[in-house]
Each structure stands twice: as structure tokens, then as C-alpha cells.
Amino acid sequence: MNYFITAIGTDSGKTMISSALSLAIGADYWKPIQAGFPTDTNTVKNLTDNQVTCHEEQYILKTPASPHQAAKMDGIELSLRKFTRPKTNHNLVIEGAGGCMVPINNHEFMIDLVPKFGAEIILVSNLYLGSINHTILTLELIKQRGYTLKAIIFNGPSNSATEDIIMKNTSAPCLIKIPQMDQVNQKSIYTLSQNIKKNWNELGW
């Protein structure tokens, strides 16, 4: 199974969560588009102590910007039809860049990778003022597209009012609520992976 990790915006903790999730379910990791350095692939390798198989990015762009802009600056044409899933017999965690509507080019967006790879979406909702609007808008987009939402992950200091209203507007379960992490390192990622694994199993997956 392919799991597409997306979020309601940038700097949401997708790479941290992708590292822990890959460890938890024994999945490989792949970031199709990397814009800027250091790469998220290297971060996953470091955080998992190389216990996760990481596949090479299809595109590494020099500028930390929207893929459509970074690609243009590098003289590269990004197109959905050019993407090829890495060969693996394992589950695959695919990390998107930014949120669902980050443009790949003038007509295609990050969320278009979901049907390309037959993936199920795991949505990261990092908690901040305005995250209700951003999360529910993203949920509505996923619903309109008819894509499968596997789970929601809340990331950040808990806010029950925010979490409750979001969960009332989706049929997908919450996989885990991640509190503010003081340190993100191999130890904390391993602990997070064990908690995810426990919840994953309890959900019958």
C-alpha cells in the first residue's frame, strides 16, 4: 500500500512523521520532489538510524521554493506523467512537498500524485490559530476529489476545541496526537514510532 503524507501547510512536521510512520509499519520512504537542502531523505535516514529504506528523489531542485518556481529556476519541466513509483515489495510512505495545492507546474498540483500512485492520504494538521479553516478546506478538497483519507495526525500543543471540530467534519480516524516535541532525534522518533505502531494495530490496520 502507498501512503501519501500531506499537510495543511509547510513546516508541519511531515518529515518527522514520515520517519516515525515508516519505522512503525515497516515501510519504505520516498520524497518525489525535493526543493532545497538539506534533503528530507537524508533527514529520514538520520532520524531512523538508516533502518528505513529511502528511495532517491525523482527531482532535486536547488531553490527552497514552490516546486513549479524552483523547477523553472533550474530549467526543469515537472510533469505528472514523468513520475515513476520506486520498485519495492514493501509499503511505501510518500512525502509530499508543502500542502495539497502546492503547484508542480501551471496546471498540476501535489495532490494529483495521490491517484497517480493509488495512495491513501494521511493528513497532518499542525495546531495553530487558523488551522481549523486550513484543515477543513483540505478535507473538503480531498472529499471532492474522491480520494481515500486514511487518517488525520494532529501535531503540536493539544487544543481540544480545534481537534473536536475537525474530527466532527471528517469520517477518518485520528491516528495520533503528537505533543510539542522538545527534541527531534533518533530516540524521540523511535518512541513516536512505537506509539504510532500501537495505535495502527488498535485501529485494525
Q: List active site positions.
A: 31
| Nearby residues of 188 by Cβ (< 8 Å), 6 or more positions away | 181
d(CA 173, CA 45): 28
- Written as nine digits, the cell of 39 is 534533503
| Nearby residues of 138 by Cβ (< 8 Å), 6 or more positions away | 6, 8, 99, 100, 123
Angle, CA of 68, 140 and 82, to the nearest 5°: 30
Phi-psi region of 16 (alpha: psi -120 to 50; beta: other; left: phi over 0): alpha
